Amino acid sequence: APDIDVTKVQAHLTELNAIAGRNGGTRRSTGQGYRDSVAYVKGKLQAAGYTVSEQACTSGCTSGAGPNLIAEWPKGDASKVYMFGSHLDSVAAGPGINDNGSGSATLLEVALKLAETNPTMAARVRFGWWTDEEQGLNGSDFYARSLTSAQRSAIKAYYNFDMVASRNGGYFINHITSAAAAPMKAYWDSLNLQPEENVEGAGRSDDYSFENYGIPTSGYAMGASARKTSAQAAKWGGTAGAAYDSCYHSSCDTTANINATGLDRSADGVAYTLWTQAVSTTVPAN
Ligand code: PHE
Ligand code: CA
Ligand code: ZN
Ligand code: ZN
Ligand code: ZN
């Protein structure tokens, strides 16, 4: 799998932070800051050759919420789909750069790297940037509900990324012992990070919308408002007794609120997982 250049992920975060700055300091789902975020991600994906669509959330979302953004890499067996998703909205109180510019920028850069590398695919890869997560996982719930049962059963796993660069964070994996989590865990194990189950995040982000339909789910997270234990500080560093992200849902969740080392390890692990699950290992014949 390729190495993701964390400086490119950080450049996307700088753009999302600037978008919030032009729109009252927020990228909340009902505002122009959200719509501009969708336009930024969509423009990069279209330029790279993706099939991109906006899906208006016509039930269950907050009135006036902007759309989900869905991008599919148009190669590989369409009956085997691996999905990678993150919410693109912030809370009203701040620009949402760790929550969840971090997941959104990571997936954008991995998607661009896939297009640039253009490997032979063994499966389909589809990306989702969700609206209105902060009001109750609403955009992803609408998407999962809108699929037919055949479309749902084609999704072999859904991977979620919500807060993957927390400054005092830890290395958490959703459903860490599951088959879907195996490549995510293998990558962080290879860095000797000793990942743990994402207890804090269970049922609290968009993977839950897919889990509700029996789709296998996993993902990375580095933690929100819960506090780091002394055992976790001993193995990961950082401050015991302090929140994983002290700017959670606050105006200080800016580009200054990013753990660049954590962001890099998350992005590289996403690429490893995508390549492991969906890129062909067969050498093409000449
Ligand atoms: N879903 C939460 C949010 O967007 C983030 C979160 C993730 C909270 C993991 C706790 C644990 O605010
Ligand atoms: Ca890297
Ligand atoms: Zn979040
Ligand atoms: Zn949040
Ligand atoms: Zn679960």
The total of structural domains in the chain comes to 1
| The pairing of beta strand 196-197 with beta strand 217-221 | unpaired
* Cβ-based neighbour number of residue 194 at 10 Å: 12
Residue-wise pLDDT tens digits, 173-202:
999 999 999 999 999 999 999 999 999 999
Residue 175 lies in a domain: yes
Among 100, 168, 199, 204, which residue has the most ligand 1 atoms within 8 Å of its CB, making it the best to mutate? 204
Q: For residue 19, give the CATH number of its domain.
A: 3.40.630.10
pLDDT in tens, the chain (286 residues): 999 999 999 999 999 999 999 999 999 999 999 999 999 999 999 999 999 999 999 999 999 999 999 999 999 999 999 999 999 999 999 999 999 999 999 999 999 999 999 999 999 999 999 999 999 999 999 999 999 999 999 999 999 999 999 999 999 999 999 999 999 999 999 999 999 999 999 999 999 999 999 999 999 999 999 999 999 999 999 999 999 999 999 999 999 999 999 999 999 999 999 999 999 998 666 5
Among 134, 163, 173, 266, which residue has the most ligand 1 atoms within 8 Å of its CB, making it the best to mutate? 163
Residue 283 lies in a domain: no
Residue-wise pLDDT tens digits, 192-251:
999 999 999 999 999 999 999 999 999 999 999 999 999 999 999 999 999 999 999 999
CA of 73 to the centre of ligand 3 (A): 25
pTM: 0.98
- Is residue 133 part of the annotated active site? The answer reads yes
Q: Quote ipTM for the complex.
A: 0.93
Active-site residue, from 133, 196, 197, 211: 133
To the nearest 10°, the Cα dihedral for 193, 197, 202, 208? Answer: 80
Ligand 1, atom nearest to 100 Cα: 4
Residue 284 lies in a domain: no
DSSP string covering 88-107? --B-TTS--IIIIIHHHHHH
Domain region containing 218: 6-278
* Cβ-based neighbour number of residue 7 at 10 Å: 10
> Residues enclosing ligand 1, CB less than 6 A?
99, 133-134, 162-163, 200-201, 204-205, 221, 224
Residue 209 lies in a domain: yes
Residue 114 lies in a domain: yes
- List the residue whose alpha carbon is closest to atom 7 of ligand 1: 201
Residue 1 lies in a domain: no
CA of 205 to the centre of ligand 1 (A): 6
Cβ neighbors of 39 (< 8 A, separation 6 or more) are: none
